[in-house]
Amino acid sequence: MRSTFGGLEVGLRGLRAHQLALEITGHNIANADTPGYSRQVANLTATRPYTIPAFNRPATAGQIGTGVEVAEILRMRDEFIDVQIRKESTNQGRWKMRQSNLEQLEVILNEPSDEGIAANLNKFWKNLQELSLRPEDMAIRSVIQQTGIVFTDMLRHTYSQLQTLQRDLDAQVQIIGGRINSLARQIAALNEEIGKVTAVGDNPNDLMDKRELLVQELASLTNITIQTDNLNRYTISISGSLLVSGNLSSALDFVRNPEREGLVDVVWADTGHRVDLRGGELKGLLEMRDEEVAFYMDALNEFASTLIEEFNQVHAAGYGLNGSHNLAFFSGTGAYDIGITEEILNDLNNIAASIDVGGGMGAPGNGDNAIRLARVISNDFLMNGGTTTLTDYYQSLIVRLGITAEEAKTMLENKNALIHHLENRQEAVAGVSLDEEMVNLIKFQNSYSAASRMITAVDEMLQILIANTGIVGR
């Protein structure tokens, strides 16, 4: 037989369930603007019914409800969208680093412009043509000297800026790697807390939100794969190597490579093996440092070394106004140390504009060698595996950079748009709508009031029952 006080218990359960639902609604409202917060919902379910035996239904006794309870607090989030966001964040991070640093490369090379390497090379070429017409003109010789100084200074400065950018990228690699290590430790610590809460049958919703924020940041820094165990703990790997497992985390280390001018290699701290990076900001930085910037440094060196060798060869075969012979015009071996020789800096007469004619020294007014010097800039040479002129070779570098930078810009815009779309889809599921929460607030408040009114009604019934029945106390 059902207890006389069963109605009180039903009402009490209604109070408790809707009070908790009100608290969850308040928690949602309080965190409406919290980054990474996932809306929570009270999963209300009927409690186990009470079986009432009946003489007229001996085989299937009747049942009566015993109230309501919050079975669990649900975390409203689409995990499939999270996986997609992580994947695209990895791609976005790589293109973000490429795009920003390719822009920096464009600033360094400063092309096209009136003050860039190409413009100064063209000025130098035009001045040599002028010299071929007036080889005895000291003003023209002075202009060639100064143009050569400006041109070589520009080459050295550009190369120095590329070196600085490469070192800056190397420093950023270590900063990003350190951040990955920090995120791995934090995720491992949250794994431990999440496992403990899950083990006792509760949902660690807020802890999982915190972890997801960290994981999304981690995904933007490097490529990761994630597996979840039965206690909601993440196992995170980078290209098959464990970064986080339960409450334990591995670390990245940075070892300077003497064969690469002291630039760091990213390795696993415990094994020393190089980390196989396939995406994320760290991959983008390494690509820029080891491929793009290194390519332009090598290309500038090849450009400068070819110019030095070919120009000096022609210059050494000519004669200056004072009869000087077999002198070099450029010093150095590459873009990093190119300059003008002391002989040219100290005496303009040493600029070899004349050439040996018929076995004798060229006449002072002979500008034939200046023509040959000008042709060095426009002649074809074997460079970068092909035949091209110095001007065309340098121009091809600028075209390549423009294409690469435009590709990075386009890819980054595409990834940004895709992630924005995915985040909007996730927000539709996990985001807090204040209008919806206010409706829930009113709904749960009314349910709470109704449960209170039921308890009052049962109490009044019991008072009547107790006061008006029985003979005890009369």
- Which amino acid is located at 341 in the chain? T
247 and 108 assigned to the same domain = yes
Asked whether 40 and 6 are in contact (CB, 8 A), the reply is no
Three-state SS for 248? strand
In this predicted structure, what is the pLDDT of residue 359? Answer: 43
DSSP E strands, 30-67: 40-46, 50-52, 62-64
In a domain, 423, yes or no: no
Three-state SS for 242? strand
170 and 300 assigned to the same domain = yes
281 and 314 assigned to the same domain = yes
Rg of the chain's alpha carbons, rounded to an integer?
39
In a domain, 425, yes or no: no
The two three-digit tokens of residue 433, written as one number: 């709508």
Helix runs in 336-381, H state only? 342-346, 368-378
In a domain, 424, yes or no: no
449 and 335 assigned to the same domain = no
447 and 369 assigned to the same domain = no
Asked whether 225 and 236 are in contact (CB, 8 A), the reply is yes
410 and 453 assigned to the same domain = no
Q: How far apart are CA 63 and CA 49, in angstroms?
A: 6
313 and 436 assigned to the same domain = no
Q: How far apart are CA 22 and CA 38, in angstroms?
A: 17
H helices, E strands: number in the chain:
11, 16
Q: Provide the 8-state DSSP code for 259.
A: G
Three-state SS for 464? helix
Q: How far apart are CA 437 and CA 39, in angstroms?
A: 10
Task: Give the percent of the chain with pLDDT over 90.
Answer: 76
Three-state SS for 223? coil
Q: Provide the 8-state DSSP code for 14.
A: H
In this predicted structure, what is the pLDDT of residue 113? Answer: 84
274 and 381 assigned to the same domain = yes
343 and 439 assigned to the same domain = no
Asked whether 10 and 4 are in contact (CB, 8 A), the reply is no
In this predicted structure, what is the pLDDT of residue 7? Answer: 81
In a domain, 446, yes or no: yes
In a domain, 300, yes or no: yes
Q: How far apart are CA 50 and CA 66, in angstroms?
A: 6
In a domain, 474, yes or no: no
136 Cβ neighbours under 8 A, 6+ residues apart: 321, 364, 365
CB atoms within 10 A of CB 372: 21
Q: How far apart are CA 226 and CA 217, in angstroms?
A: 14
In this predicted structure, what is the pLDDT of residue 191? Answer: 97
Q: How far apart are CA 393 and CA 16, in angstroms?
A: 79
In this predicted structure, what is the pLDDT of residue 260? Answer: 85
409 and 454 assigned to the same domain = no
Burial of 28: CB neighbours in 10 Å, binned 0-12, 13-18, 19+: buried
Sole residue written with tokens 């093996």:
273
Please state the three-class secondary structure of 153-216 as a single string.
HHHHHHHHHHHHHHHHHHHHHHHHHHHHHHHHHHHHHHHHHHHHHHHCCCCCHHHHHHHHHHHH
In a domain, 426, yes or no: no
Q: How far apart are CA 1 and CA 394, in angstroms?
A: 97
88 and 33 assigned to the same domain = no
In this predicted structure, what is the pLDDT of residue 288? Answer: 98
Q: Within the chain, which residues score under 50 in pLDDT? A: 359, 362
In a domain, 213, yes or no: yes
55 Cβ neighbours under 8 A, 6+ residues apart: none
Sole residue written with tokens 């999440």:
194
User: Which residue range forms the structural domain that includes residue 116?
Assistant: 84-418
In this predicted structure, what is the pLDDT of residue 306? Answer: 92
In this predicted structure, what is the pLDDT of residue 57? Answer: 57
CA triplet 91, 214, 88: central angle to 5 degrees? Answer: 15
61 and 161 assigned to the same domain = no
pTM over 0.85: yes
**Count of structural domains, the chain:** 2
